[in-house]
Chains A and B, each alone.
Chain A
Amino acid sequence: MAVLLIAEHNNKELRPFTLNAATAASQIDSDVHAVIIGQNSADAAKQLSELPVVKKVLSVEGAHYENFTAENFAPVIVKLAENYSHIVCSANTFGKNLMPRIAAHLDTSQVSDIIKVISPDTFLRPIYAGNAFATIKSNDAKKCVTIRPTSFDPCESTGGSAEIEKVDASEEFSNTKFIKREEIKSDRPELGTARIVVSGGRGMQSGDNFKLITEIADKLGAAIGASRAAVDAGYISNDHQVGQTGKVVVPDLYIAIGISGAIQHLAGMKESKVIVAINKDGEAPIFSVADYGLEADLFEAIPQFMEELNKLNTIQK
């Protein structure tokens, strides 16, 4: 039986992580069908049909699908699930919200946030915020799997021409009503998906001093992170918190400034490709995960860092 991929989109176009989820789905089985549920989402459905890994697109349209409520989406997918061995989508807030609702209806134990497909029934997933990896085999007849998007490359987005089949809508779930969505419009990339993250810790000593971090982040086109200690001290709001109880980030470059490296912080960033630590305490645990460590007073090092960056002809964005 084929794999059913749930497409994430904004009714106009696919959201990028759909491509990563499509790659994971194609590693489970080459026969991937994709369902797109929305309102006036024909353009996004067409885009989905052009992914070479997708063999067939199922399009479901309805006014009650405009805002992607799980209560409306789940019954559609539960009905389609009959014909599929696996249901797959991204483990971002869209998929995390939706998939367990489907799995419970199917009486299936979901496998969340996988980072590797070992075989069609066996997957690798991080537990304890990435402090351990578990190999999980699902014995359910139907498998519901969410995938960590950053662990799978996006699939090719052109060249395919899958058939698009219309599927009937399900009834509206009337006890949940969408009111509004406020998308954070910032020039700064989102913390969870940024290529570079610059984080400050308790060593920043005050909220005011975080503007030093902001300057570096602006220069590098980076997101701003913080340790729990800095958040608890009130230097910065907790939506910036990186760590086991905050966000788990895997950027190409993570710069930890004035962060000692508590376990709970390391859990949220140690999978980053390149880690830089700037700390005046040479014994700080952060140095044990850093590719490049600089033992220095951050209040001297940050201005110098800006100066050196300013000397560069080009900075990758």
Chain B
Amino acid sequence: MKILVAVKRVIDYNVQIRVKEDGTGVVTDNVKMSTNPPDDNAIEEAVKIKEAGKATEVVAVTVGEEKAQETVRKALAVGADRGIHVKVDGILEPLAVSKILKKIVDKEKPDLVFMGKQAIDDDCNQTGQMLSALLNWPQATFASKIDVKDNKLEVTREIDEGLETIEIIVPAIVTCDLRLNEPRYASLPNIMKAKKKPIEEIPASDLGVDVSPRLEQLKVEEPPKRKAGIKVANVAELVQKLKNEAKVI
């Protein structure tokens, strides 16, 4: 079994986002970037499956600018065998990313593709589902548990009503929830070793995919600010305010 894991570079989840004054987006210069958190879960799960002897190779792929390669390097440091960096400048929509990933799948022929359920920058939650549509493969989204059984996967999905279990036949796509596992940290020796693992660079233009945007971002703005609240002196006052002023209890 070969597993392809897609990772995305995003603004670190601990960074306070600042909206650009001209309304064209958010400030990304000199801002700490990291791997999209649920993508870390996706890599972890793939590596665990390989460690359990149920996968032969884990390949990490990212689509993005020069620096996006850091996320692939990090995946290599926690156990992926090799990397692919599809180089493209600017921001791509999930539809374009899924078309690029399809080309990589056509070339690599993995049995499974893993990725995070959602990226914490654009919050679109589309790429995995779109890729499975383009491939006409089964999709297991929001996975919180994966059992590999020969050519089948039993996947528990986090849904609004609780948990759902489905069985999918490979080749298949799985999008990973934060509850799936606890991503490991890369050890220093593994970080050093990862530097020697190969990363293939492919210009997106070589893939013959139409990545032109379909959406126009007309404006990015700060959400409405909350009015400053008050401090109450004691619990009795708090409960009285909630009851009689805010009328919420």
Q: Is B one of A's binding partners?
A: yes
* A122 contact set on B, CB distance < 8 A: 218
A59 to B: closest C-beta gap in Å? 23
Chain B residue at minimum C-beta to C-beta distance from A107: B95
- Number of B interface residues, CB 8 Å? 81
Q: Is the CB of A192 within 8 A of B160?
A: yes
Given contacts A246-B178, A308-B236, contact A179 B167 (CB under 8 A): yes
Given contacts A109-B94, A253-B242, contact A263 B217 (CB under 8 A): no
Report how far A135 CA is from B221 CA in the complex, Å: 8
**Contact partner, B223, options A132, A175, A263, A276, Cβ 8 Å:** A132
Q: Is the CB of A301 within 8 A of B216?
A: no
**Contact partner, B217, options A134, A178, A290, Cβ 8 Å:** A134
Q: Is the CB of A129 within 8 A of B238?
A: no
Interface string of A84-110 (1 = CB under 8 A from B): 000000011110111111111101111
- Number of A interface residues, CB 8 Å? 94
Chain B residue at minimum C-beta to C-beta distance from A237: B179
Stretch of B58-66, B127-135, B185-193 that contacts chain A: B127-135
Q: Is A183 an interface residue (CB 8 A)?
A: yes
Q: Is B200 an interface residue (CB 8 A)?
A: no
Q: Is the CB of B120 within 8 A of A180?
A: no
* A305 contact set on B, CB distance < 8 A: 235, 238-239
Given contacts A137-B215, A245-B178, A290-B229, contact A183 B162 (CB under 8 A): yes
| Residues of B228-246 whose CB lies within 8 A of A | 228-232, 234-236, 238-239, 241-243, 246
B24 to A: closest C-beta gap in Å? 10
Report how far A7 CA is from B37 CA in the complex, Å: 32
Q: Is B52 an interface residue (CB 8 A)?
A: no
| Residues of A151-199 whose CB lies within 8 A of B | 173, 175-184, 190, 192-193, 196
Given contacts A128-B120, A291-B246, contact A100 B17 (CB under 8 A): no
Report how far A138 CA is from B37 CA in the complex, Å: 28
Q: Is A80 an interface residue (CB 8 A)?
A: no
Q: Is the CB of B169 within 8 A of A244?
A: no
Q: Is the interface of A mostly helix, strand, loop or mixed?
A: mixed
Q: Is the CB of B215 within 8 A of A111?
A: yes
**Contact partner, A128, options B123, B125, B130, Cβ 8 Å:** B123
Q: Is B226 an interface residue (CB 8 A)?
A: yes
* A239 contact set on B, CB distance < 8 A: 158, 179
Q: Is the CB of A97 within 8 A of B141?
A: yes
Chain A residue at minimum C-beta to C-beta distance from B158: A93
Q: Is B219 an interface residue (CB 8 A)?
A: yes
Of listed A97, A244, A307, residue having the most chain B CB within 10 A: A97
Stretch of A20-28, A38-46, A69-77, A207-215 that contacts chain B: A69-77
Q: Is the CB of B14 within 8 A of A131?
A: no
Q: Is B202 an interface residue (CB 8 A)?
A: no
Chain B residue at minimum C-beta to C-beta distance from A144: B126
List residues of chain A with CB under 8 Å of any chain B CB.
69-71, 74, 91-94, 96-105, 107-113, 122, 126-140, 173, 175-184, 190, 192-193, 196, 220, 238-239, 241, 244-246, 252-253, 262-264, 270-271, 273-276, 282, 287-296, 301, 304-305, 307-309, 312, 315-316
Some 23 contacts from A to B, beta carbons below 8 A apart, are: A70-B141, A93-B142, A103-B133, A109-B214, A113-B125, A127-B122, A127-B220, A129-B120, A131-B223, A133-B221, A136-B217, A138-B214, A140-B214, A179-B165, A182-B165, A183-B161, A184-B162, A238-B178, A239-B158, A246-B178, A276-B242, A289-B226, A296-B235
List residues of chain B with CB under 8 Å of any chain A CB.
11, 13-17, 19, 26, 37-38, 93-95, 98, 120-134, 137-142, 154, 157-169, 172, 178-179, 213-223, 226-232, 234-236, 238-239, 241-243, 246, 248-249
* Shortest 5 CB-CB contacts between residues of A and residues of B: A100-B129, A109-B214, A104-B133, A104-B130, A100-B126
